[in-house]
Amino acid sequence: MDDDRRLASGRAEWLCGLGWHAFAVGSLAEAVRSPGRDRCSACLIDAHLPDNGGRRVAEAMRAASPTAGIVAIVAPGDACPAWADAAACHPGADAELLAAIEAARDAALVRSTPCPAASRASAVIGSHPTLLHALDIARRIARTPATVLVTGESGTGKSLLAREIHAASGRRGRFVEVACGSLAEPLLESELFGHVAGAYTGASVDRDGRFLEADGGTIFLDEIATASPAMQVKLLRVLQEMEFEPVGSGRTHRVDARVILATNDNLESLVAAGRFRADLFWRINVVAIEMPPLRSRASDIPLLADHFLRKAAAHAGREVTGISAPAMTALCGHTWPGNVRELQHAVERAVFLGRGSLVDAADLPAAVLAGGRHASVVASPLKEALASPERQLILEALERSGWRRDLAARSLGINRTTLYKKLRRLGLDLGELQAAR
């Protein structure tokens, strides 16, 4: 819509040449009638129409086509009016106009889509009040831009909660997860912000960082307490301004990314000890959600165990119908120092090694059968709980490096010999793992 009919027709013809079905209107009356004739996915409106015409056309368009994105065509230097979803300058670059159309369509889709929290099944399983409280906070803040800090012991499901927030947020971009503790500082900086060719030895090509990949979506920074003081300064700037420069580049990138962070450490204690910046802590502690340990919500164990059993049985191609009473008693009596992750691995092990249609007590790990006895809690479960995240970090590093052990070892901050020793100790056969994945 433009009161200069020739300009409107030329723009519509150009869009048709790109594959759109576009038409032009040159008067306010025709523009107000047009939504009844055609449902539109986007509407380009001259922001300087007389008698507040732009707002009237936008309101008519939204009433007829709720998912239509409204693009205001503004003069250089003018702000986007309140009635529009995005703006593009005239005169301006073609790419700017196309980007504004896509941004407006995305904004309109988010605006017209009900919050999915009430209709979609949660990936975080349980009905204990402490868990439901965490989920309630997550869903209430999902559609806000607030930075979120998720706390809780290892294995409680912090990553799942972050994904839950992203799924309910309506953001159309990707969910990008970064395990900060698995990378040495130079590699972490490159991982987060990218680098240009020649920035350091081995950087032969430009590479986008994870923040750029999360533009329009959500970035989840796990194990944030492991960040070095220098990295904490860089993160503080990104969180405040959403701007950064790739390693070796002077070009500043600006992104629109929702930031969720997680830690199993007490950040307030680290601040008091001088190991974590106070200004960064207050910047990320906007909304804090604590994931409860499994031992504090033992009533959820049967529900979780059944969920993991069905998944493991389907993966193994076995018909396992349930868990015997003695086995369930052992599961409910264990203290689960490794939390939900340890429970998942215990059930998977039982399904993979069991022979009957029911998971029996004999199929469970010895640590689980020992219940809450002190010797068992101190020795085997702790060792298993520590081995699980170590195994996961190694596998993620290998996958990122294309299964090259030298690159994986470097990203983990260890040498190749140490990596080999860890692989043997954890019983990981790279040939079988690579074939399976």
pLDDT single digits (tens) 212-229: 999 999 999 999 999 999
Using a 10 angstrom Cβ sphere, with 0-12 exposed, 13-18 middle and 19 or more buried, the burial of residue 374 is: exposed
Query: Are the CB atoms for 193 and 164 separated by under 8 Å?
Result: no
Q: Is it true that 5-112 and 124-290 share their CATH fold?
A: yes
Which of 38-47, 259-268, 281-290 shows the lowest per-residue confidence on average (mean pLDDT)? 38-47
User: What's the confidence (pLDDT) of residue 185?
Assistant: 77
Q: Give the angle subtended at the CA of 418 by the CAs of 417 and 422, to the nearest 5°.
A: 120
* Percent of residues, the chain, with pLDDT higher than 90: 32
Query: Are the CB atoms for 313 and 319 separated by under 8 Å?
Result: yes
Mean pLDDT of 85-96: 76
Coil, strand, or helix at residue 13? helix
Give domain limits for the chain. Answer: 5-112, 124-290, 294-369, 381-436
All residues at 6 or more sequence positions from 258 whose CB lies less than 8 Å from its CB, including other chains:
145, 147, 165, 166, 169, 171, 214, 217, 218, 219
**Class in CATH terms, 381-436:** mainly alpha
User: What's the confidence (pLDDT) of residue 187?
Assistant: 83
Coil, strand, or helix at residue 341? helix
Q: Could you say which architecture CATH assigns to the domain 5-112?
A: 3-Layer(aba) Sandwich (3.40)
Angle, nearest 10°, between helix axes 416-425 and 380-400? 130
Amino acid 4 reads: D
User: What's the confidence (pLDDT) of residue 435?
Assistant: 58
Which of 68-82, 99-113, 234-248, 299-313 shows the lowest per-residue confidence on average (mean pLDDT)? 99-113
pTM of the model: 0.58
431: confidence class by pLDDT, cuts 50, 70, 90: low
124-290: CATH number: 3.40.50.300
Give the whole-angstrom CA distance, residue 166 versus residue 334: 32
294-369: CATH topology is Helicase, Ruva Protein; domain 3 (1.10.8)
Give the whole-angstrom CA distance, residue 87 versus residue 85: 7
pLDDT single digits (tens) 286-336: 899 999 999 999 889 999 999 999 989 988 888 888 999 899 999 999 999
pLDDT single digits (tens) 375-385: 333 334 455 55
Neighbours of 65 (CB within 10 A): 19
**Among residues 374, 110, 92, 58, which one has the least CA distance to residue 258?**
110
Query: Are the CB atoms for 101 and 71 separated by under 8 Å?
Result: yes
109 versus 333: which is more confidently predicted? 333
pLDDT at position 117 over 60? no
